[in-house]
Amino acid sequence: MIRVTVFRTNERITAFELSGHADSGPYGYDLVCAGVSAVSIGTINAVMALCEVDLIIEQGQDGGYLHVTIPASISEEKMEQIQLLFEGMIISLTSIEQEYSDFIQIESK
């Protein structure tokens, strides 16, 4: 199962973490994994390109782990832009969770 943890401080997303594997299909045909990967990596790329912010990214060697933190030293304007993109990501991941709840779980801390 993919576990998505969203870390918030004062209602704002400060980081998110994805861990585990969906195992909803054979390797290369796992639609849940593909969807979660596309949404999360697409959001990271959007933040880096549109907001010009270098996120703090930790990845597992063999996949199955991604931790992304927003740097503390960014402007309020950039933070607002990132929040919008990250909230959009959470909405997309929640849509996947609603259809495939046996393979993905989202929680906030």
Tens-digit pLDDT profile for residues 1-43: 999 999 999 999 999 999 999 989 888 889 999 999 999 999 9
pTM of the predicted model as reported, rounded to 2 decimal places: 0.92
73 in any annotated domain: yes
Mean model confidence pLDDT for the chain:
95
Report the relative pairing of strands 65-69 and 12-19 from DSSP bridges.
antiparallel
Selecting among 12, 21, 67, 78, the annotated active-site residue is 21
Residue-level pLDDT at 69: 98
- Considering the candidates 4, 13, 33, 66, report the single residue annotated as catalytic: 33
Q: Is residue 105 part of a domain?
A: no
Tokens, residue 54: 């270098």
Is 106 domain-assigned?
A: no
Active site residue 67: no
Q: State the total domains in the chain.
A: 1
Establish whether 51 is a catalytic residue.
no
The confidence score (pLDDT) of residue 44 equals 98
Domain that holds residue 92: 2-100
